[in-house]
């Protein structure tokens, strides 16, 4: 905490105008080990994390692999947690991609700062780039955190 994550709300707030879609946070090229680290970070932090399976609360599993779909066991896992008052949802679609989503209309300047801090914390924890995008648009970043350079970059829409 305390690092400059590059918030300039006066110009960035347009990226969070309600438009009927969510905003996504992606980490690509992830492994089970990455998932384990991030899940432990969220579980033990002050995020009020709640894991559910088929809409019923459940304890965090010992093995992160247990959270991913298996054809023989169709289950719907969902992790909900609070970041600066904004609810983030994590779906367990595939091991090699983390995806968190949130409603943009719940974001103001302080909330954006908290979300960007979380992105930087995750990037530093697992050493991978973290991007925030419009819903389902992995290659249209709004913000990008690069852990090797320890920089958060805002990419204005063109």
Which CATH number characterizes residue 131's domain?
Answer: 3.30.310
User: Is position 2 within any domain?
Assistant: no
The confidence score (pLDDT) of residue 141 equals 96
- Residue 73's pLDDT band, with cuts at 50, 70 and 90, is confident
Range of the domain at 83: 9-154
User: Is position 3 within any domain?
Assistant: no
Is residue 2 pLDDT above 60, yes or no? no
User: Is position 61 within any domain?
Assistant: yes
Is residue 1 pLDDT above 90, yes or no? no
User: Is position 30 within any domain?
Assistant: yes
111 membership: H or E segment, kind and range: helix 109-126
User: Is position 4 within any domain?
Assistant: no
77 membership: H or E segment, kind and range: strand 77-83
Classify residue 91 by burial, with Cβ atoms within 10 Å: 0-12, 13-18, 19+: middle
Least Cα distance to 23 among 149, 116, 110, 125 occurs for 116
What is the number of structural domains in the chain?
A: 1
Over residues 76-98, the pLDDT tens digits come to: 889 999 999 999 999 999 999 99
How much is the average pLDDT of 122-137? Answer: 97
pTM: 0.94
The confidence score (pLDDT) of residue 72 equals 78
User: Is position 132 within any domain?
Assistant: yes
Classify residue 61 by burial, with Cβ atoms within 10 Å: 0-12, 13-18, 19+: middle
User: Is position 73 within any domain?
Assistant: yes
| Rg over CA atoms, the chain | 15
């Amino acid at each position: 905490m305390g690092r400059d994550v590059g918030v300039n709300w006066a110009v960035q707030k347009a990226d969070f105008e309600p438009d009927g879609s969510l905003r996504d946070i992606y980490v690509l090229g992830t492994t089970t080990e990455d998932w384990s680290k991030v899940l432990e970070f969220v579980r033990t932090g002050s995020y009020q994390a709640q894991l559910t399976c088929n809409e019923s609360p459940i304890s965090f599993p010992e093995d992160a692999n247990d959270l991913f779909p298996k054809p023989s066991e169709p289950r719907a896992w969902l992790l909900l947690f609070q970041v600066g008052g904004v609810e983030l949802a994590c779906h367990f679609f595939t091991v090699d991609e983390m995806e968190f989503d949130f409603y943009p209309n719940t974001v103001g300047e302080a909330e954006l700062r908290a979300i960007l801090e979380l992105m930087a914390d995750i990037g530093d924890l697992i050493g991978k780039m973290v991007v925030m995008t419009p819903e389902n648009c992995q290659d249209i970043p709004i913000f990008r955190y690069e852990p090797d350079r320890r920089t958060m970059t805002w990419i204005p829409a063109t």
